[in-house]
Copies of this chain bind each other. A is one copy, B any other.
Amino acid sequence: MRPQVSVQEADFDVGAEIAALSAGRPEVGAVASFVGLVRDVNDGSGVRAMTLEHYPGMTERSLTDIIEQAKRRWSVLGMRVIHRYGRLEPTDRIVFVGVASSHRGDAFAACEFIMDYLKTRAPFWKREETPEGARWVDAREADDSAAARWAEDGTGDAVDESWEEVEQRR
């Protein structure tokens, strides 16, 4: 059986991944997918390359958790998440998310949900090489609010809030 989650240094074949989500499954009517790529600019600086660090073990576990959440939430027939780590250059692929469903609404929603959560929960950190030197990328406010859109009751997100908020609440 094909894995649902892969964390790897190697590139991946987008067409093959999308095709595999519907191959031999005539109940699939919709495959929504996303490819994230390295850009040559970020926050105004030129980016020559970046290195993605991750937390082996927790990475796979958190991606699997995200997929399980999506399964409970939408009617999906197949899902696939691939995330690369290591050194990557502009135009290189970073991440692939693909979701197969009978209907397009579920496929789109689950795919975007997985990407939003992946951005805020999966333990990856980007270090960019710019003309001014190397720097760690700061988490973006926009990503947190994108993930917050999906919170139903807040319990799932409580552990994700910043430490400061927890301390202030005491």
Contacts and interface: CB of A to CB of B under 8 A. Distances in A.
Interface of A: 13-16, 18-19, 22-41, 90-91, 102, 104-105, 107-108, 111-112, 115, 142, 146
B34 A29 contact: no
B102 A34 contact: no
Given A33-B32, A33-B33, A34-B104, A41 B18 contact: no
Contact of A30 (B34, B90, B107): B34
A13 B14 CA distance: 11
Given A26-B90, A28-B39, A104-B115, 12 more contacts: A14-B18, A22-B37, A23-B91, A24-B91, A25-B91, A26-B91, A30-B35, A33-B33, A39-B102, A104-B112, A105-B142, A108-B108
Of A13, A25, A33, most B-chain CB atoms within 10 Å: A33
A104 B36 contact: yes
Contact of A146 (B14, B19, B30, B105): B105
12 contacts: A13-B15, A15-B15, A18-B33, A22-B91, A26-B41, A30-B36, A30-B37, A31-B37, A32-B32, A34-B108, A105-B146, A108-B111
A18 B35 contact: yes
Contacts of A37: 22, 28-31
Contact of A14 (B15, B36, B90, B107): B15
A12 B38 CA distance: 26
Contacts of A19: 14
